[in-house]
Amino acid sequence: MPSSSIRTTSSLDTTRRTTRLTSRVSAFNPQVTLFEAAELEDQALPDSSSSPRRSKRVKVEVKTETDSHIPDLEDLKYVPKTRTPRKTPKKEEKQLYTLQTSAVKAEASTSSTATPTPRKRKKADVASPKKPKAVPQALAIPHPEPPNWRETYSAIKEMRTRFVAPVDTMGCQQAQVAEKDPKNRRYATLVSLMLSSQTKDEITNAAVDNLRAALGGSITIEGMIAADDAVIQKAIAKVGFWSKKTTYLKQAAIKLRDEFDSDVPDTADKLCSLPGVGPKMAFLALQIAWNQNDGIGVDVHVHRITNLLGWHKPPTKTPEQTRLNLQSWLPKELYGDINHMLVGFGQVICVPVSPRCDVCELSVKGLCPSARVVNSKKRKAIVFTEVKESPPKIEITMEEETEEKKFIPPPSPSRPQPT
């Protein structure tokens, strides 16, 4: 059995005593080992000034002695095994890290007495009023005027007088009919335009009627702000993107109340600053609500048909490109008619799928480069109204009797005329 020595140091003594432990087998039980302590010698401690540090720990030195003693079996069995630390699972590591960081933050917030350094304000935190972006009105290089556009325009306009399209009876201009207050008439027009995006006129018109009933019989800005989102969503549930449009309607109503005196603005730039309002809606709202033809409202029909007619070289890819091209050469007095005319033409004759080129006069006159041969036997017939020539107007004027020209009755046939 190896012997060990223990060195103890007192903070008051200047000498160091060394004690050695010796082991021996018990005389009564050979399986028991006895330990005895024996002081060897005292050694002077070094000076405290020269010692870098003092330690109060008990140091144990184990020395192996070469003797013929056989260690006990229990000593051989008691061998401490070094175990590798168990790896913490990733989930537990994350939880432990979260607890540690939260504890450190809580401790720092409670223990710190110094004034915290001010946080740098981000750009998003600074509330700066945003100026509405100006809607472009002209191209740097105007688009050339397409050939034969006047003849084509006149032919489409003549065809539009012979049938009734959905836009004629259920378009956005019909939303203001049921309103009496001028502000409400303008606002109802704007609401109808916001709902018409990616939606047919029939569904838009029904949604406007449902929304008017849900808001108490009139579409007002105050009623839109006070209404719950669920009420608005139920009224416009059949229009496209109804959830997003509900948010736009609420946000736009709040902005109209706070910035525009609860009325629809009269410029395209201010209208486009409203959530969910683009150039097409802005120019149509100005035409219907304020009777201003400041630009062309280009929707999918106008964009598609003008490209089919070859009015854009090269073909435009977006409605905004189509609008700028048209505004560069189309006379301004036609800005208010082209949208309504082409939308109805696209709803009945020049439909997106299987257009009715068989009944289109542009195909007969050779004015449409995209015309094709269509089999109309299995197609539903289009009901055209007959255009009758109005009889000539007869104007009757009576001359006043003067002294120079008096009325002389005709001679009676029974009396002979004087010679």
Instruction: Convert the pLDDT of each residue in 315-345 to its tens digit.
Output: 999 999 999 999 999 999 999 999 999 999 9
Tokens for 52, please give them: 């870098």
Please give the mean pLDDT across all residues of the chain.
79
The answer to whether 350 touches 368, Cβ cutoff 8 Å, is no
Does a structural domain hold residue 216? yes
279 compared with 103, residue with greater pLDDT: 279
Q: What amino acid occupies position 404?
A: E
What is residue 26's predicted lDDT score, i.e. its pLDDT?
A: 76
Overall pTM surpassing 0.75 (yes/no): no
What is residue 419's predicted lDDT score, i.e. its pLDDT?
A: 46
Residues 72 and 153 in one domain: no
Residues 175 and 278 in one domain: yes
What is residue 222's predicted lDDT score, i.e. its pLDDT?
A: 96
Residues 317 and 188 in one domain: yes
- Residues comprising the chain, all counted: 419
**What is the pLDDT averaged over residues 250-256?**
97
Does a structural domain hold residue 374? no
CA of residue 335 relative to chain centroid, distance: 30
Of the three residues 77, 95, 112, the one that is the final residue of a domain is 77
Does a structural domain hold residue 252? yes
Domain that holds residue 24: 3-77
Looking up residue 275, the CATH number of its domain turns out to be 1.10.340.30
Half-sphere exposure of 25 (CA within 13 A, CB side): 13
Residues 247 and 338 in one domain: yes
Tokens for 40, please give them: 């060897």
Identify whether 377 is a catalytic site residue. no
Does a structural domain hold residue 265? yes
Annotated catalytic residue within 120, 130, 131, 280: 280
Does a structural domain hold residue 192? yes
Grade residue 75 by pLDDT with cuts at 50, 70 and 90. very low
Of the three residues 365, 380, 407, the one that is the final residue of a domain is 365
Q: Give the C-alpha separation, 57 to 59, whole Å.
A: 6
Of the three residues 41, 60, 77, the one that is the final residue of a domain is 77
Residues 169 and 271 in one domain: yes
Cα separations in angstroms, 1 against 20, 26, 105, 171:
14, 13, 54, 108
Does a structural domain hold residue 404? no
Greatest mean pLDDT among 102-111, 292-301, 377-386 lies in 292-301
As for how many domains the chain has, the answer is: 2
